[in-house]
Amino acid sequence: MTEKQRLVIGISGASGACYGLRLLEACKSLDLETHLVISKAGEVTISQETSATLSNVKALADHYHKAADIGAAIASGSFQTIGMVIVPCSIRSMSEIATGVTSSLLTRAADVTLKERRKLILAIRETPLHTGHLRSLTQLSEMGAIIVPPVPAFYTKPQSIDDLVTQFTGHLLRLMGIENDLAREWSGLKNGA
C-alpha cells in the first residue's frame, strides 16, 4: 500500500451530485489519494445540478478513470484501496452491483471492492423504493455493502443545504474509518430531558 490511503469515489446518475463533489473536496483537504469514476448519467447530472464543469470535477481527484476503461487499476483487486464510496448511487448502479453483472468501470470497481472484502458504501438516492429495490439492497447488505441514503440530520440545526451536504459527507468519511471534523456528533439530549 502507498503512504497515502487510497479511496475510490464513484458518482452515478442519481440526483445529488453535490454529495460526490463535496466528498472529493473533503478528501483533498484530508490528504487522501482519490480515484474517481463517473458514469455517463453522472456526467449529465453534474451538468444539470451544479455549476461545476466536468473538468473541474475531474481536477478534484488525484486520478480520474473513464467509465469505459475496464483496464483501469481500480478494476483489479490487486490494486490496494481502503474501499469505495458511490455517492450518489443510482438504482441502476445498485442493481448491477447486487447481481454482479457489471457494465462499466463504476460497477466493476464496486464489485471488486466487495469481493476483496473492503468497505463499499452506497449512498442510494431514490424514493420510494419498491420490493425489488429493497430485495437488492438486502442482498447487498448481506454481501457486505453499507447502504447509506443521504438522510439529513436535523439535530445539527442546519442553516443551509451546504450544512446538510457537509454533515453527510463527514458521516460517509467516518463510516470509511476516516476521522474528520465535518460531521457533528450527537451529544445527547439537552437539559437532561
Cell numbers describing residue 35: 480515484
Domain contains 190: no
Instruction: Output the pLDDT for position 174.
Output: 97
Residue 36 lies in a domain: yes
Domain membership of residue 121 (yes or no) is: yes
Residue 35 lies in a domain: yes
* pLDDT tens digits for range 27-41: 999 999 999 999 999
* C-alpha 144: how far from chain center: 15
**Confidence (pLDDT) at 123:** 98
CB 20 within 8 A of CB 124: no
**Domains identified in the chain, total number:** 1
Q: What CATH number should be reported for the domain holding residue 41?
A: 3.40.50.1950
Output the pLDDT for position 3. Answer: 77
Range of the domain at 30: 6-179
11 part of a folded domain: yes
Residue 186 within a domain: no
| In a domain? residue 132 | yes
Is residue 40 in a domain? Answer: yes
> pTM for this one?
0.95
Residues of the chain below pLDDT 50 = 1
Which DSSP string do the residues of 117-176 spell out, in sequence order? T-EEEEEE--SS--HHHHHHHHHHHHHT-EE------GGG---SHHHHHHHHHHHHHHHT
Strands 119-124 and 83-89: parallel
Between CA 51 and CA 80 the distance in angstroms is: 33
